[in-house]
């Protein structure tokens, strides 16, 4: 069935370091891959997304890479700041539009 695996489940970095979160999806029909940031008790907020016809996308300190052959996609955050601390979810979406989420990564950025 459709599944998205996300690693690691927790990630602790020093302020200024980089953080990388990786996801693998199972449904080859998936063509849209968003990343959401969720702070405690809040709604998921989109931080970056990528379509399957693009291999990489960057927005300031955040970048996403996609390897369609391997069904892998990754989130890269550079120069991390304490306010980056949150739970990050990857998701994959087939043409039907629903989002299949990964299990989440709790990122802690230590000042």
Partner 1 sequence: EPEVTQTPSHQVTQMGQEVILRCVPISNHLYFYWYRQILGQKVEFLVSFYNNEISEKSEIFDDQFSVERPDGSNFTLKIRSTKLEDSAMYFCASRQHRTEYTTDTQYFGPGTRLTVL
CB of 17 to partner 1, least distance (A): 26
Out of 19, 35, 102, 109, the residue judged to bind partner 1 by CB under 8 A = 102
Element (H, E) at 25: strand 19-25
Residues 62/75, Cβ–Cβ less than 8 Å: yes
What the block records as the tokens of 111 is 């000042």
Smaller CB separation from partner 1, 14 or 43: 43
Task: Map the footprint of partner 1 across residues 24-83, applying CB under 8 A.
Answer: 32, 34, 36, 42-46, 49, 51
What the block records as the tokens of 64 is 């996403």
- Of residues 17, 11, 46, the one with CA closest to residue 32: 46
Positions that interact with partner 1 (CB under 8 A): 32, 34, 36, 42-46, 49, 51, 89, 91, 93, 96-104
């Amino acid at each position: 069935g459709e599944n998205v695996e996300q690693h690691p489940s927790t990630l602790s970095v020093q302020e200024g370091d980089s953080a990388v979160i990786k996801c693998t999806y199972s449904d080859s029909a998936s063509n849209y891959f968003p990343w959401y940031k969720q702070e405690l008790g809040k709604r998921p907020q989109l931080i970056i997304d990528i379509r399957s016809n693009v291999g990489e996308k960057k927005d300031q300190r955040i970048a996403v890479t996609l390897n369609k052959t391997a069904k892998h996609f990754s989130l890269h955050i550079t120069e991390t700041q304490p306010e980056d601390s949150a739970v990050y979810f990857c998701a994959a979406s087939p043409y039907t539009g629903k989002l299949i989420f990964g299990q989440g990564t709790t990122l802690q950025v230590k000042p």
